[in-house]
Amino acid sequence: MEFFEVVQKRYSHKVAFDSSHPVSDEHLVKIVETGMAAPSAANGQSAEFILINDKAIIEQIGRITNNVPLKTAPAMIAVVSDLGEGGPGVSYCLEDYAAATENMLLAATALGYSCGWVDWVFKDPAVRDPVSELLNVPDDRRLMVIMPVGLPGEPGPRRAKKPFERRASWNRYAVIR
């Protein structure tokens, strides 16, 4: 698939996956390697990755989060950040994990999978902490996102994007508001 086609085809799959079709270890590694190749502020490489394909762990994550994609995906990739990377008072973990996650979303799409970016549930420590414990995330790291990966179990809605003029302008700010 050509790059711009991959970008246009990518969407956040927010409904059930088909858990009967596994994602190969080879594909999971390839997806994570694209995350590892993402730009990283000051080359700190603060994003770290946990590849998840153990059905028992996936079931527990689904139960804790009560999130349909996380309940049904045959595989997941957790992105964990080193909050201290960058030195005292400086952290680029948000930029690093976001760039890595976007690369992985595009890689999964290029390989023919649907995927999602699930982070909002992990903003709540009552959800993040038990999932972090389950995944053995050390105290000096933070679970930022889990990306479910697989074939769709049902079609996922695609949201319309705003037109160019409502998001971009030439030379000066002139976005139509």
Find out whether 17 and 120 touch, Cβ atoms under 8 Å.
no
104: pLDDT strictly greater than 90: yes
**Has residue 138 got a pLDDT over 60?**
yes
Tally of CB atoms within 10 A around 105: 25
Return the CATH number of 3-166, one of 3.90.420.10, 3.40.109.10, 3.40.50.720, 3.30.390.50.
3.40.109.10
Does the pTM exceed 0.75?
A: yes
Residue 86: pLDDT over 60: no
Q: Picking from 3-7, 15-19, 84-88, 132-136, which range would have the lowest pLDDT averaged per residue? A: 84-88
The pLDDT of residue 78: 98
Q: Measure the CA angle with vertex 109, ends 108 and 111; round to 5°.
A: 65
DSSP 49-68: EEEE--HHHHHHHHHHH--H
Q: How far apart are CA 140 and CA 48, in angstroms?
A: 12
Please give the share of the chain, as a percent, with pLDDT higher than 90: 84
Task: Give the pLDDT band (50/70/90) at residue 146.
Answer: very high
Quote the pLDDT of residue 90: 67
In this predicted structure, the answer to whether residue 173 has a pLDDT above a threshold of 80 is: yes
Would you state the pLDDT for residue 154?
86
Helix, strand, or coil (residue 169): coil
Q: Supply angle C-alpha 70, 72, 77, rounded to 5.
A: 45
User: Can you give the residue ranges of every domain in the chain?
Assistant: 3-166
